[in-house]
Chain A
């Protein structure tokens, strides 16, 4: 029996390929997601290994990622730890993450999310004697005015050794330049788009440590034979309070863990898409196997007639599924590499440059690919396999053995139940529960999608009938036949359309979400931002306070309001604080408060959002403690505000408070008001002129500011569309597959039609019309469901500032139009095959 199914598989290579295709695509997505995230993780892990000395001395708690401004390590401490037993040397490190190279063409290098790292050159090795970075050309900087750049950045910026490099920085000098004396390469491999500038210690301290002889942290190098933990114990003994000694291994591990946490978002994100494509793929596999079993029913009946048991017949179909799954998983794994490469390019375009790293294939990727491929295929083939066992032996003797399609009722009941449960889960996620909202919401959407897919033979009927009427009127009998063909296997049509429906529903949801989010942002900006110009950094990096002084000096500028962001601890828990200056406090007249007076915000007086007030149980007049790096400051709540475009934080403080806490004097945004007598164009030109040599900040009017705020949404949408696009591609290939298989199934009918005079072109038209029915059905259902999801989500998020609902009708219309085009394209190949059907073989009875 097994040999028979194997022979039958090999005899029909095309069929094998087509049924494996759905598996390949689904598995490729899973494998691609894993390979990509592993590659990303590996790049960071390699980096972390060379980013810590044998023992690291730092301010206690400095490894908290939300406390970037660590208390510095004084030079005296470094000197002390260098002398402990077992220490070969100790080096103080100065590091900064806001120093960017300006290229010869006056462009900022890197930056899109990746840090611009600046460090002093110490010569101290990283843990286990590893060199943190290797010199490629030239020499390390030895004195003020000399720098070394990583080779990739030097190349991108176009600087050669001996030339002057320009920098912008949030350090004490907003711009500076230095002579390039060497290029280097990080031992950890890819820098993921970050640039690494190396300078002499004195300069680094002048720029980033306010000129004091102190360091960000210090590395202690062990003498040969001294273990990290032995050295750590020795070092800890001499450390003053407020500092800690940590082994290099532990630091690397902590960094890696933090990075993994940060990356888990991307992994989840990609796996969601993998799940979507697997669901879509499962539909296709079920469909394909149903068709295959239907086509082979005569052959299967023959097996039954010559004595094979039901189980043997079922098992032979399952075995076929196993082989298909195996082949599909293997090919899918290979395709996954291609996909990972594609995702890498995609992410690279949005700032996560990983071109230096090679793709990583972990065992779990292989296991997951085969598990998913085999399980999905076998599960998908299970129902058709059972149906195959039920073929009566007598069917072998009949000419037109047809497998009865089970009643739709059971399917529709299951579908309805699923859809209702999904809807309930969505409701829970959006309105009721406070934790795991996204899981409830995602699960709910999935449930509704699958539920509707199951009942789609029913709900799709009016649409197919409506199209059928148009077809009949326009295309006559060819249109009638096309309609009838789509109605003859309602499940098959529905399953094929459902695959497309899922992709289109998610695309529609995202497009409604995106346009509503953008409209909401525009609204808020128009309402809240009273400034004429906004100076900000397009990449979200803070910039030197020096810039605000420059801007204020521009003629025609009436006043400037500064804001900055920093995490601080508020009565023990971390909170992102928005620090604003008194001018800003006065300017923010549009801020709504539920109690208290926002204008009273000043040193020692903060405003908190309604949400924070609720979470912390605070009210106006309550006392709180603000803290950072061991410094503590008492403050009082003076107002409870609502968040908006200007006030975007749960905690608003005077920025002088942030300075008192030892946080760097760096701004995030400067809002500028023009003098009423000054002309807009003159002031803007003046501002642009003042900031001309500071490419890291830009001056924008309100419109441009709004555009900039919307940009991240567009970026996110682009990535999501690209990934969903792949799900749509799978669905389209599903249509091709279904049509091609049904052409094989209907060979006889096609032969007859051709014999009685149906032209090839008419035949192709017929298939095209069938294909368009499927595509439009899927797209229409998808758009409808996406509309439902989009509206539901927007309604649920009104309270969180998502108060505009914008439905991009033109875009939705475009989706439907594209679906019709997709339908036409999907029919090209099956149509060609159908046209080539040999009439004689098709009608031959023997």
Chain B
């Protein structure tokens, strides 16, 4: 499978078909297939993911939602090559991750994936600029100056580049993290509750910035969140419950997301 694969998207698990009209052929940026993840052994084994198959499309902003314990973080960690899988495959672009050794996996993370975490995104001893350029510096690559300037302008950090994380607000820190994720032009960015620690204004700034990078730069972003408001900034919401993909929503609105979440919660309650 190549990066330029134009295979039409079919969502194996949910296939709710709600937004078929909106579908257009998109290249696939990443795919997880029959992904299973158990923690522990024998009787004590807990299944976090149970045969999950999911395609993530290039140039799309995808949210993964679900009640706590649904496996959404585990899914992201496995998809991003941070965690090992029990069974199934993970493909980023044309690279199959589950067969890779540690060293190659590190390089994939460095060169093909961008990360934004909820907190502790930045190295406290490095300036904002050095943090943004960190993945490139680790790889020993030269930054594309024009692209760097554009990214920095977009996140509005031009006059903050020489500051250390300690001298930046929480929102500014997350924007530095966004810039870092973007500057190496990764094939996909994984964001884990990127606005979880922010007030609503700063959160909106960060989400707005992520949205723009999808729309203007064609960046692929996958975001784990439990906030319906945050999810409504995306193109597509995938719902997880009990380690399974149970639903999907395109062009989400906060109300529609909330509605589906309620359904999931009651499902979880009935459990």
Contact = CB atoms under 8 A, between A and B. Distances in A.
Q: How large is the interface on B (under 10, 10 to 19, 20 to 34, 35 or more residues)?
A: 20 to 34
Given A756-B115, A756-B180, A845-B119, A480 B82 contact: no
Contact of B126 (A481, A754, A757): A481
A757 B110 contact: yes
B120 A758 contact: no
B123 A481 contact: yes
Interface in B93-117: 102-103, 106-107, 109-111, 115, 117
Nearest to A488: B125
B83 interface: yes
B118 interface: yes
Contact of B106 (A748, A758, A845): A758
Contacts of B40: none
A555 interface: no
Interface stretch (B27-35, B52-60, B130-138, B247-255): B130-138
Contact of B135 (A480, A484, A748, A756): A756
B175 to A, nearest CB: 16
B26 interface: no
Interface residues of A, number: 27
B166 to A, nearest CB: 9
15 contacts: A488-B124, A752-B117, A752-B121, A752-B122, A752-B123, A753-B134, A756-B135, A756-B138, A757-B107, A758-B106, A759-B107, A760-B106, A840-B83, A843-B117, A845-B196
Contacts, number: 79
Contacts of A488: 124-125
* Most chain B Cβ neighbours within 10 Å, of A400, A488, A756, A839: A756
Contacts of B135: 756-757
B240 to A, nearest CB: 18
Interface in B43-91: 77, 82-83
A817 interface: no
B130 A480 contact: yes
A675 interface: no
Contacts of A753: 123, 134, 138
B120 A757 contact: no
B140 interface: yes
Contact of A756 (B124, B134, B196): B134
A756 B109 contact: yes
Given A477-B137, A754-B106, A756-B109, A749 B120 contact: yes
B121 A759 contact: no
A758 B137 CA distance: 10
Contact of A755 (B82, B111, B118, B196): B82
A477 B127 CA distance: 11
Interface string A744-787: 00001100111111111010000000000000000000000000
A484 B126 contact: yes
B139 interface: yes
A748 B125 contact: no
Contacts of A752: 117, 120-123
Contacts of B138: 477-478, 753, 756-759, 762
A758 B125 CA distance: 16
Interface of B: 77, 82-83, 102-103, 106-107, 109-111, 115, 117-126, 130, 133-135, 137-140, 180, 196
A800 interface: no
Interface of A: 399-400, 476-478, 480-481, 484-485, 487-488, 748-749, 752-760, 762, 839-840, 843, 845
Given A485-B125, A760-B106, A840-B82, A477 B134 contact: yes
B120 A477 contact: no
Nearest to A483: B125
Given A752-B123, A845-B196, 15 more contacts: A400-B120, A477-B133, A477-B138, A481-B123, A481-B125, A749-B123, A753-B123, A753-B138, A755-B109, A756-B109, A756-B135, A756-B180, A757-B110, A843-B120, A845-B118
* Most chain A Cβ neighbours within 10 Å, of B106, B111, B130, B196: B106
* Most chain A Cβ neighbours within 10 Å, of B82, B83, B121, B140: B82
A476 B119 CA distance: 26
A313 to B, nearest CB: 26
A760 B105 CA distance: 11
Give me the 5 closest cross-chain CB pairs, A-B, nearest first. Answer: A757-B110, A484-B125, A477-B137, A757-B109, A748-B120
Nearest to B106: A759
A843 B82 CA distance: 10
Contacts of B118: 845
Contacts of A749: 120, 123-124
Contacts of B106: 754, 757-760
Contacts of B119: 399, 845
* Most chain A Cβ neighbours within 10 Å, of B115, B117, B121: B117
B109 A760 contact: no
Contacts of A485: 125
B82 A839 contact: yes
B148 to A, nearest CB: 15
A760 B77 CA distance: 19
B83 to A, nearest CB: 6
A487 B122 CA distance: 17
Contacts of A400: 120
Contact of B102 (A478, A484, A756, A760): A760
Nearest to B108: A757
A448 to B, nearest CB: 32
A754 B103 CA distance: 11
A480 B117 contact: no
A154 B197 CA distance: 84
Contacts of B77: 840
A839 B82 CA distance: 7
A399 B138 CA distance: 27
A756 B117 CA distance: 11
B74 to A, nearest CB: 9
* Most chain A Cβ neighbours within 10 Å, of B111, B125, B134: B125
Nearest to B103: A759
Given A480-B130, A749-B120, A756 B83 contact: no
Contacts of B196: 845
Given A476-B140, A488-B125, A845-B120, A755 B115 contact: yes
* Most chain A Cβ neighbours within 10 Å, of B110, B130, B140: B110
Contacts of B180: 756
Nearest to A842: B120
A464 to B, nearest CB: 13
Nearest to A751: B120
Contacts of B123: 481, 749, 752-753
B143 to A, nearest CB: 12
Contacts of A839: 82
Nearest to A758: B138
Contacts of B134: 477, 753, 756
A294 to B, nearest CB: 14
Contacts of A487: 125
A480 B130 CA distance: 9
Contacts of A762: 138
A480 B115 contact: no
Nearest to B80: A755
